[in-house]
Structure 1
Amino acid sequence: MAAQARRQPGPQQVAFARFVRHAIDTSRRQRGWTLTQTAAHAGVGRSTIFRWLNGEWTDYPQLEKVRRFCRTLHAPVGEAMRALGVPSPDATPPPVPAAVQADIRVILARLSDPAVAAEEKHHIRMLLRYLAHRRIQQPD
């Protein structure tokens, strides 16, 4: 059986891994905490921290865990959110083109229509999640 190729982390994974590494290194210098101690104090599993450090996540990390990690290590939450690509609450979102707004209205109508089967709604949501989190292919 062939081994699966390991996915290369995307820019958000790399940026967040760099943020986490810096916070852990600072904690080690200032508090003398090991990674295991850091995880215990932050209430975040060691395996979660290792995934963050290695960029091995496809869905966003749970933001409450990220906030707890930051509070425990006195790391700036805003910096963690920027690394993850989460927009700041005061950021002005870019304008949404009319064609995209029309597509969104159609999708929302299908998802809220009681005549549409639950299975179809599930497929729509799963496809949207896939599209929202897949790596963007850069043209050659």
Structure 2
Amino acid sequence: MASLEARRAAFGRFVRRALEDAKDRRISIKEIERRAGMGSTTFYRWRDGDWTKDPRPTQVDAFCEALDIPTRAAYRALGWGADGKPADQPDAVFDPELRAIQRKLMDPNVSDTAKESIRNMLRLIIGSNGNGRRAAGQD
């Protein structure tokens, strides 16, 4: 999935074009609001990339339906699948040391004993007793 910044820009361009097309077809902002059942503030924020959470799929659907635009174009701009849900998230970016630990733990050539030693050291560092809970006396 593309970064949030890239998705904001892509969806902003999509909304800008949709609003320009609506103006060319003489569909007023008030009419878009009425058809979509939402205020213009929402789609102006989308256009300007002024959002931190993905728009609600129901609102995107309503906006597209109000302008007779295929929702798949909006979903594509947002990096969503055809079902209106976000595509797979990218793997988290880790520090090089964390990636090295992950590689060791997944490497079939590293012995189970060595892997258990790594896990025990990590548990000591984070104060875990191995089941995801803090060890007794760890606050």
Contact residue 41 and residue 72 of structure 1 kept, 8 A: yes
Q: Where does structure 1 lack aligned partners over 5 or more consecutive residues?
A: 1-8, 100-115, 117-140
> What residue number does 1:16 align with?
11
Report the 3-state secondary structure (helix = DSSP H, G, I; strand = E; otherwise coil) of the residue aligned with 1:67: helix
Greater Rg over alpha carbons, structure: 2
Distance 1:39 1:82 in 2: 23
**Map of 1:77-116 to 2, 5 A cutoff?**
77-89=71-83
Shift of 1:40: 2.3
Alpha carbon RMSD of aligned pairs, Å?
3.0
Distance 2:17 2:41 in 1: 18
Give the TM-score taking structure 1 as reference length: 0.54
Distance 2:82 2:69 in 1: 16
Shift of 1:93: 6.4
Deviating 4+ runs (over 3 angstroms): none
> What residue number does 2:114 align with?
none
Amino acid at match of 1:42: A
Report the 3-state secondary structure (helix = DSSP H, G, I; strand = E; otherwise coil) of the residue aligned with 1:59: coil
The verdict on how the C-alpha distance between 1:87 and 1:29 changes in structure 2, with shifts beyond 3 A counting, is: same
> What residue number does 1:25 align with?
20
**Map of 1:25-44 to 2, 5 A cutoff?**
25-30=20-25, 32-44=26-38
Q: Where does structure 2 lack aligned partners over 5 or more consecutive residues?
A: 92-101, 103-132, 134-139
Structure 2 residue corresponding to 1:51, chosen from 45, 55, 69: 45
Distance 1:93 1:63 in 2: 16
Give the TM-score taking structure 2 as reference length: 0.55
The range that moved more, 32-41 or 66-75, is 32-41
Identical aligned residues as a percent: 31
Residue correspondences, number: 89
